């Protein structure tokens, strides 16, 4: 079966590994460039994207992971991980870079002014599986402001003003959510990522 890495510089690594285990998939913590070798996919966890960026530089992982993604390594980013996968960030700190790969604009801490963290049922509508409702937990979450050509919107969340915002996107084998499916004990979204990896 596939081996999926979990970027382990910072953030909720253990929770992601438990979800992958629930999907019957082997996982590996990734802190050093050599640990990228032979991976079939990688998860970029939630945490703090500014810290993750700095640590990726410190551990000499930034360029190797950026090029692995450019070369087509499948990836699943949650919250801070979504930010790290985005080609463009709004409200980043000065000098903050992302690994990129996903042609979207994300806004950091976007829901923050309304409320810091909340749970909301989200309709997940992946083109490669049946739709379902997911209990989504948002913690100082980003949202997606703009998607490029070929980016599929897989989830939207209702906002306080009666509108909605994009909180799940996918292009090819790259999947990202604004929320944290790793902390709810529900492995369905991880399974969707595993399905993208194995179908490849």
Binding residues for L-glutamine: 47-49, 108, 139-140
Contacting ligand GLN within 79-98 (CB under 6 A): 79-80, 83
Distance CA(186)–CA(67), nearest Å, equals: 31
The alpha-carbon radius of gyration of the chain (Å, integer) is: 15
Burial tier of 33 (Cβ tally within 10 Å: 0-12, 13-18, 19+):
middle
Give the torsion through C-alpha atoms of 75, 146, 64, 74, to 10 deg: 20
Contact call for residue 139 and ligand GLN (CB under 6 A): yes
Contact call for residue 49 and ligand GLN (CB under 6 A): yes
Coil, helix or strand at residue 194: helix
Residue 31 · residue 8 · CB < 8 Å? yes
Alpha carbon 87 to its chain's center = 13
- Annotated binding site, which residues? 47-49, 108, 139-140
- Residue 158 CB, shortest distance to ligand GLN, in Å, is 19
Contact call for residue 110 and ligand GLN (CB under 6 A): no
In the bound state with ligand GLN, the residue whose beta carbon lies nearer, of 79 and 196, is 79
Contact call for residue 102 and ligand GLN (CB under 6 A): no
- Residues annotated as part of the active site: 79, 180, 182
- Residue 174 CB, shortest distance to ligand GLN, in Å, is 17
Residue 100 · residue 68 · CB < 8 Å? no
Contacting ligand GLN within 10-39 (CB under 6 A): none
Contact call for residue 106 and ligand GLN (CB under 6 A): no
List the beta bridge partners of residue 1: none
Contact call for residue 47 and ligand GLN (CB under 6 A): yes
Q: Which residues bind ligand GLN (CB under 6 A)?
A: 46-49, 79-80, 83, 108-109, 139-140
């Amino acid at each position: 079966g596939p081996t999926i890495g979990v970027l382990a510089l910072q953030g909720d690594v253990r929770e992601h590994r438990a979800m992958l285990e629930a999907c019957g998939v082997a996982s590996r913590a990734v802190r050093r460039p050599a640990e990228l070798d032979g991976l079939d996919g990688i998860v970029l966890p939630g945490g703090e994207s500014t810290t993750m960026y700095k640590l990726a530089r410190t551990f000499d992982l930034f360029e190797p992971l950026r090029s692995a993604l450019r070369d087509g390594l499948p990836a699943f980013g949650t919250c801070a991980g979504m930010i790290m996968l985005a080609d463009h960030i709004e409200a980043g700190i000065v000098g903050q870079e992302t690994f990129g790969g996903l042609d979207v604009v994300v806004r950091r801490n976007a829901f923050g002014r309304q409320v810091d963290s909340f749970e909301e049922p989200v309709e997940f509508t992946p083109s490669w599986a049946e739709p379902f409702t997911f209990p989504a937990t948002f913690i100082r979450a980003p949202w997606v402001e703009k998607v490029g050509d070929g980016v599929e919107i897989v989830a939207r969340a209702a906002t306080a003003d009666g509108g909605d915002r994009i909180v799940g996107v996918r292009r090819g084998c790259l999947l990202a959510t604004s929320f944290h499916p790793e902390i709810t004990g529900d492995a369905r979204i991880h399974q969707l990522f595993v399905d993208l990896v194995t179908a490849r």
